[in-house]
């Protein structure tokens, strides 16, 4: 392992609960229940992340549940995501399981994000008009196998 690489790793045998801020690059292979702010987040195949993520790039190969606000999201074939996903670019590999509310951030993303955030706090389902305006709603939990 590149011990000196500028990278934080939560290994496969690790469990973390709490709050992580200022992490540049973080890899999660264990169980994390946390709020995280980072530049790049990788959730490994065995990784379990439960909590909010704010990051520029998120690569999900494991299990994610929570509210993610990311620039780019890459859900690989083994990913399973539930909760909420705010993204600007999204890549989803064949087999990825998304069972979540997916919102594309338009140019006025801050306003939209703030608005939908508020809505979703109160209501489990956003208004149909919001959906139509803000992005795509995906409710397909089926994994392509």
Binding site for other proteins (CB under 8 A): 1, 3, 6-27, 29-30, 34, 40, 42, 44-47, 57, 59, 61, 72, 74, 76, 78, 89, 91
Written as six digits, the tokens of 73 are 């999201």
Report the distance separating Cα 54 and Cα 68, nearest Å: 6
Concatenated DSSP letters for 70-87?
EEEEEE-TT-EEEEEEEE
Q: How many CB atoms lie within 10 A of CB 19?
A: 11
Smallest distance, other proteins to C-beta of residue 114, A: 24
Question: Which lies closer to other proteins via its Cβ, residue 34 or residue 100?
Answer: 34
Question: Which lies closer to other proteins via its Cβ, residue 43 or residue 100?
Answer: 43
Smallest distance, other proteins to C-beta of residue 20, A: 5
């Amino acid at each position: 392992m590149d011990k000196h690489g500028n990278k934080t790793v939560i290994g496969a045998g690790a469990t973390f609960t709490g709050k992580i801020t200022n992490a540049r690059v973080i890899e999660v292979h264990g169980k994390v229940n946390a709020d995280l702010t980072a530049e790049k987040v990788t959730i490994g195949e065995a990784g379990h992340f439960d909590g909010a993520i704010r990051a520029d790039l998120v690569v999900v190969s494991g299990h994610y549940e929570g509210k993610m606000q990311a620039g780019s999201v890459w859900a690989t074939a083994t990913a399973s995501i539930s909760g909420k996903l705010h993204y600007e670019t999204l890549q989803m590999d064949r087999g990825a399981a998304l069972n979540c509310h997916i919102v594309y951030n338009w140019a006025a993303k801050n306003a939209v994000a703030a608005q939908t955030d508020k809505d979703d706090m109160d209501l489990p389902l956003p208004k149909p008009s919001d959906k139509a305006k803000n992005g795509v709603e995906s409710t397909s939990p089926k994994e392509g196998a």
